[in-house]
């Protein structure tokens, strides 16, 4: 068992703009209507917002097209339809709405309502990023980090992540920290990784909290401090983040930064295991196998081992494989009862 670090996951990383009217330059005649739309959105009165948006959409107002696209995407005040939402984003983007550019590009990356097209997505992310939209800067950095629609370029990824991170976007701060932590070249820096994880963690970004805890636990970027590691694992775990729940269980089991407490370890392993965290499922199986923190129960241990193996945990796979390869005792054919023997003789 070992502490787990959070990674960046494809598509989950992509950011949409919040459902607020962009700060664009609306036509004077549309200004009052747009303000009324914003008032309705603030009250979560989506039916009223849709009613107010319709004439603006019909007149081709870019901000109205974008907001209507978001409402259609979320199914608020109107029937949910991803294809139709993407079309509204495209129309608004072509009219120059920056938030719509980001949303249209996000649809192109995810293939959500439109055919997937990374190259075209990169083009639209760049248009919005160059106008200073933090979410687009982050998304463009993500494409550079993974070579989607552009040539893979870690320096370009760091550049765009940094622009978004310096605007306070927590996802960009986390991804920038991840890039510095895992770079295999001159960009590798535990100190910079810890700095950006902390920036995102302070904004309650659970993955960043988990990774900041890892940095303290392992003494990377900071002096080793198990107590601070425990603090950050706890904050992430209490948000329901499964990897942090597993890591917190591990800290309690090992007595790192806290007095050893097998009952707490089992509780946190169970919370993570119930979210299909494979390392936690294996660890919980081990606790049942050894009777540590719970009464020994081999049936329950095997259940968790098998779930963990199914979810890809290598230690659990080894346990299950060893169990399956155990030589089975030779079973003799059951001897007939005396009554059967007598009956057989009569039949003869």
CATH number, residue 99? 1.25.40
Answer yes or no: is 202 within a domain: no
Answer yes or no: is 170 within a domain: no
Instruction: State residue 293 phi and psi, 5-degree precision.
Output: 85, -10
Question: In whole angstroms, what is the distance from residue 242 CA to residue 280 CA?
Answer: 9
Q: Contacts by 3-6 with C-beta closer than 8 Å and gap 24+?
A: 3/214, 3/217, 3/218, 3/247, 3/250, 4/210, 4/243, 4/246, 4/247, 4/279, 5/181, 5/210, 5/211, 5/214, 5/243, 6/178, 6/207, 6/208, 6/210, 6/211, 6/241, 6/243
Mean pLDDT, residues 191-211: 98
Size of the chain, expressed as the number of residues it contains:
348
Mean pLDDT, residues 11-27: 47
Confidence of residue 7 (pLDDT cuts 50, 70, 90): low
Helix H or strand E segment including 137: helix 134-146
How many domains does one find in the chain?
1
Nearest to 178 by CA among 186, 189, 164: 189
Answer yes or no: is 73 within a domain: yes
Confidence of residue 337 (pLDDT cuts 50, 70, 90): very low
Tokens standing for residue 201: 């963690």
Answer yes or no: is 242 within a domain: no
Q: What is the CA radius of gyration of the chain?
A: 28
pLDDT > 90 in the chain, percent: 83
Answer yes or no: is 63 within a domain: yes
Confidence of residue 6 (pLDDT cuts 50, 70, 90): low
Question: In whole angstroms, what is the distance from residue 167 CA to residue 136 CA?
Answer: 12
Do 19 and 73 meet the contact criterion of CB atoms below 8 Å apart?
no
Answer yes or no: is 84 within a domain: yes
Answer yes or no: is 292 within a domain: no
pLDDT single digits (tens) 310-321: 999 999 999 999
pLDDT single digits (tens) 106-153: 999 999 899 999 999 999 999 999 999 999 999 999 999 999 999 999
Is the dihedral angle over the CA atoms 134, 140, 141, 146 positive or is it negative? positive
Question: In whole angstroms, what is the distance from residue 184 CA to residue 164 CA?
Answer: 23
Tokens standing for residue 291: 């009777």
Determine the structural domain holding residue 59 and report its residue range.
37-116
Answer yes or no: is 158 within a domain: no
Mean pLDDT, the chain, whole residue set: 89
């Amino acid at each position: 068992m070992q502490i787990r670090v959070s990674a960046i996951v494809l598509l989950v990383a992509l950011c949409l703009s919040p459902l607020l009217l962009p700060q664009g330059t609306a036509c004077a005649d549309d200004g009052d209507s747009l303000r009324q739309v914003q008032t309705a959105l603030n009250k979560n009165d989506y039916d009223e917002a849709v009613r107010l948006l319709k004439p603006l959409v019909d007149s081709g107002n870019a901000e109205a097209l974008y907001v209507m696209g978001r409402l259609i995407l979320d199914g608020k005040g109107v029937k949910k339809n991803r294809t139709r939402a993407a079309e509204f984003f495209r129309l608004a983007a072509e009219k120059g709405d920056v938030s719509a550019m980001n949303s249209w590009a996000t649809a192109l990356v995810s293939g959500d309502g439109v055919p997937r097209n990374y190259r075209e997505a990169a083009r639209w992310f760049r248009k919005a990023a160059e106008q200073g939209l933090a979410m687009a800067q982050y998304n463009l950095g993500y494409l550079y980090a993974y070579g989607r629609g552009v040539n893979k370029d870690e320096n370009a990824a760091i550049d765009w992540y940094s622009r978004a991170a310096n605007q306070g976007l927590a996802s960009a701060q986390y991804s920038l920290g991840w890039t510095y932590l895992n770079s295999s070249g001159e960009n590798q820096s535990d100190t910079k990784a810890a700095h950006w994880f902390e920036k995102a963690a302070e904004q309650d970004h659970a993955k960043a909290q988990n990774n900041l805890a890892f940095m303290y636990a392992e003494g990377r970027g900071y002096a080793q401090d198990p107590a601070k590691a425990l603090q950050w694992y706890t904050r992430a775990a209490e948000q329901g983040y499964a990897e942090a729940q597993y890591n917190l269980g591990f800290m309690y089991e090992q007595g790192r930064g806290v007095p050893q407490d097998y009952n707490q370890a089992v509780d946190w392993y169970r919370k993570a295991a119930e979210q299909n965290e494979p390392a936690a499922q294996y660890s919980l199986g081990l606790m049942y196998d050894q009777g540590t923190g719970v009464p020994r129960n081999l049936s329950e241990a095997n259940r968790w081992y098998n779930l963990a193996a199914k979810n890809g945990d290598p230690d659990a796979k080894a346990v299950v494989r060893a169990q399956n390869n155990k030589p089975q005792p030779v079973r003799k054919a059951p001897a007939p009862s005396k009554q059967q023997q007598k009956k057989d003789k009569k039949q003869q």
